[in-house]
Amino acid sequence: MNSAGIRYGGHYNPEQWPEKVWAEDVALMAETGVDLVTVGVFARGELQPGPGRALETGWLDRVLDLLTGVGVGVGLATATASPPPWLVAAHPSILPVDASGVRLSPGGRQHYCPSSPDYREAAGELAGRMAERYGGHPALELWHVGNEYGCHVPACYCDASAEAFRHWLEARYGGIDQLNYAWGSALWSQRYRNFDEVLPPRAAPTFPNPSQQLDFARFSNDELLACYSAEREVLAAATPTVPVTTNLMGLFRPTDGWARAMDLVSLDRYPDPDDPDAHLSAALAADLTRSLAGGRPWYLMEQAPGAVNWRRVNVPKSRGEYRRWSLQAVARGADAVLQFQWRASAAGAEKYHSGMVPHADTDTRAWQEVVDLDAELRRLAPLAGTLVTADVALLLDWEGWWGLELDLSRYRLVVVPALYLVSDEAAAGLERYVAGGGVAVVTYFSGIIEPTDRVRLGGYPAPWRDLLGLHVDEHAPLPPGRSERLSGPLAHPSSRGFRWLERVRLRGARALLTVASEPLTGQPAATVHDCGQGAAYYLATTPDPATLDALVADASGRAGVNPTASVPPGVEAVERGGHLVLINHLDRDAEVDLGHDGRRDLLSGSVRSGGVTLTPGEVLVLAPATPTEPAPKTPSPVPGRAG
Ligand code: GAL
């Protein structure tokens, strides 16, 4: 892949514009250094004007030729994300049905049932025709399948979906008795005599069966993934060397386990300019994407250059914010920074969404920021293809992500927040990790149920009682706003626990925090259990930030994890390919000590050392202190541009 540079560009929707604008588009792309655009994501209506008709490719041919002429590569969509009206008219059952039985209408987008045979057939056919027509086009670098699967319709409850759900359940359970056991159907007379009686969890008078809901979430994910995979197979057969992706959405609950079906993992990320902590969730989404990519570089497929159109109040990005999010993505492993979209739409539901080319055109601050970023991304070419250094893993509870636990040993510290559902393999994986000298921090409400959704009995967290050296007898969640006093070795005078407490019996663990107010006085709120070379921490509450810092410092010290750099809160420090990236997310100056060795900042070219002041929003990308071997590069499916 990209061993030459960081790719730059965005979604390009020329079908929304008269042809005379296209020439201006490519001229501006050349001016900004854009070298990769995604084309055709929602263009099915323009490409396929009716059932059985030949594709109308003349316009797309001309667009791709124009792009080729200025050296812009293309992530070509299969255009299956939004069925046009003729397709819905020909096959009304394509339309999805919600849990209340309402059939959704066309007029927006993504109005298809993932289990609809008609939708799947039409999608596969279009993907095949696109591959046949454009598989050999010189601009083609990447296939972009669908768009943000499940974002508007994560599940469909129609009769076709019900039928498919039954088959899925039969394959999973083998027999109806096993399903009845797993779903606990003895409760409320829910026992099924055969699979024909089972339905999706449609709107019900009171609490629906949670195991039925869990299985339906798994099924719905599988159905969406099957839609994507069917297209991918068609493309892979026709163009085996062209990588295939679809745009994931970070911590998006409905989709799980997709990365293994992707040649290149990509992320859509829209940090809220009005959220002072947005850099934290944005970093988490980036790191998650990198993990899904197996640590290898990934693509930022979408971000907004300015405001979005879909928040209640669409706060614009402040000066430099577009640059800061872009550089953060690169610091955390992105090899491409793409935007939604190239040119802001003039009509339709997204007409107030920003674009790289704004409504106000190019004599604007926004355009200048777009142009300036290109120059900076070119300076960061040495980072392309390199790996990010990470000593700490955060274990999330998407099923299918259990591959992580098989390789926990490469991390010094593993954090397991509220891992409610745990398979036997995952439970054993964490035990092995700690036995091998690792340090784990497990939080409350972990290890509670089996994958079947049945509670693991005998005291929580059943699979990790020995590992943690304790038994939890009872959960005691706290009402919003309530907190209890905490004491103990890690407490400060005003330490408090929020959200959750528990009744805990120690069986070898030591208490680090203890509840200091009634009715749970004396109950452990944080513990540590020494296990050979390793240690297992348990957190039975959400402590105030200072107390949490003390716990993190204790666990990090034990694990030998040192901060990438000593920076104040609000300043981000990431290491990629031996480069130290520092980002000041604060609206005030921040002081950072860089030590004695001078390090060259790739962005400004200046050499920095000692105590430096980072102005608000400032970013430094510091080259390794002493000349080192070139940073290891990874192979990439997509070629790059020169720095
Ligand atoms: C994304 C979507 C794009 C565009 C964008 C607007 O979720 O993939 O097509 O709608 O949001 O922010």
Residue from 350, 351, 354 to probe ligand 1 pocket by mutation (most atoms less than 8 Å from CB): 350
pLDDT band at 405 (very low <50, low <70, confident <90, very high): very low
> Is 116 in contact with 160 (CB distance < 8 Å)?
yes
User: What count of other Cβ atoms lies within 10 Å of the Cβ of residue 493?
Assistant: 6
How many angstroms separate the CA atoms of 387 and 391, rounded? 13
> Is 487 in contact with 495 (CB distance < 8 Å)?
yes
pLDDT band at 233 (very low <50, low <70, confident <90, very high): very high
Q: 375 Cβ partners below 8 Å, 6+ apart?
A: 33
Distance of CA 320 to CAs 270, 315, 387, 524, Å? 15, 14, 26, 46
Task: Please list the residues that pair with 334 across neighbouring strands.
Answer: 298
Burial label, 587 (beta-carbon count in 10 A; 0-12, 13-18, 19+): exposed
User: Ligand 1: distance of its center to the CA of 221 in Å?
Assistant: 20
pLDDT band at 638 (very low <50, low <70, confident <90, very high): low
Paired tokens of 436: 């091998």
How many angstroms separate the CA atoms of 513 and 330, rounded? 39
Asked if residue 400 has pLDDT above 50, the reply is: no
User: Ligand 1: distance of its center to the CA of 35 in Å?
Assistant: 21
Asked if residue 614 has pLDDT above 50, the reply is: yes
Residues taking part in catalysis: 148, 302
How many angstroms separate the CA atoms of 423 and 446, rounded? 11
How many angstroms separate the CA atoms of 447 and 438, rounded? 19
> Is 346 in contact with 357 (CB distance < 8 Å)?
no
Residue from 44, 145, 268 to probe ligand 1 pocket by mutation (most atoms less than 8 Å from CB): 268
Residue from 12, 302, 341, 342 to probe ligand 1 pocket by mutation (most atoms less than 8 Å from CB): 302
User: 618: Cβ below 6 Å to ligand 1?
Assistant: no
Q: Is the dihedral of CA 63, 64, 68, 74 positive or negative?
A: positive
For residue 148, the ligand 1 atom closest to its alpha carbon is 8
Asked if residue 378 has pLDDT above 60, the reply is: yes
Asked if residue 642 has pLDDT above 80, the reply is: no
Count, in order, helices (H) and strands (E) of the chain: 15, 27
User: 340: Cβ below 6 Å to ligand 1?
Assistant: yes
> Is 267 in contact with 335 (CB distance < 8 Å)?
no
Residue from 148, 269, 300, 338 to probe ligand 1 pocket by mutation (most atoms less than 8 Å from CB): 148
Asked if residue 359 has pLDDT above 50, the reply is: yes
How many angstroms separate the CA atoms of 328 and 336, rounded? 12
User: 147: Cβ below 6 Å to ligand 1?
Assistant: yes
Burial label, 295 (beta-carbon count in 10 A; 0-12, 13-18, 19+): middle
User: Ligand 1: distance of its center to the CA of 309 in Å?
Assistant: 9
For residue 270, the ligand 1 atom closest to its alpha carbon is 12
Residue type, 389: T
For residue 249, the ligand 1 atom closest to its alpha carbon is 7
Note the pTM of the prediction, 2 decimals. Answer: 0.91
pLDDT in tens, 472-525: 999 999 999 999 999 999 999 999 999 999 999 999 999 999 999 999 999 999
- What radius of gyration do the chain's Cα atoms show? 26
For residue 310, the ligand 1 atom closest to its alpha carbon is 12
How many angstroms separate the CA atoms of 342 and 335, rounded? 18
User: Ligand 1: distance of its center to the CA of 112 in Å?
Assistant: 17
User: 634: Cβ below 6 Å to ligand 1?
Assistant: no
Nearest residue to 13 via CA among 48, 47, 55? 47
For residue 308, the ligand 1 atom closest to its alpha carbon is 12
pLDDT band at 1 (very low <50, low <70, confident <90, very high): very low
Domains (range + CATH), the chain = 7-154+224-383 (3.20.20.80), 159-213 (no CATH), 392-559 (3.40.50.880), 571-622 (2.60.40.1180)
Q: Scanning the structure block, which residue is given the tokens 């309402």? A: 102
* Helical ranges in 239-277 per DSSP H: none
How many angstroms separate the CA atoms of 36 and 639, rounded? 10
Paired tokens of 564: 């990438």
Q: Is the dihedral of CA 589, 590, 594, 596 positive or negative?
A: positive
Percent of the chain at pLDDT > 90 equals 88
pLDDT in tens, 28-87: 999 999 999 999 999 999 999 888 888 999 999 999 999 999 999 999 999 999 999 999
How many angstroms separate the CA atoms of 303 and 354, rounded? 10
Closest residue to atom 2 of ligand 1, CA basis: 148
User: 302: Cβ below 6 Å to ligand 1?
Assistant: yes
User: 173: Cβ below 6 Å to ligand 1?
Assistant: no
pLDDT at 338: 98
pLDDT at 114: 98
pLDDT at 601: 97
pLDDT in tens, 175-217: 999 999 999 999 999 999 999 999 999 999 999 999 999 999 9
User: 149: Cβ below 6 Å to ligand 1?
Assistant: no
Paired tokens of 387: 């790996």
pLDDT in tens, 544-580: 999 999 999 999 999 999 988 999 999 999 999 999 9
Closest residue to atom 3 of ligand 1, CA basis: 340
User: 38: Cβ below 6 Å to ligand 1?
Assistant: no
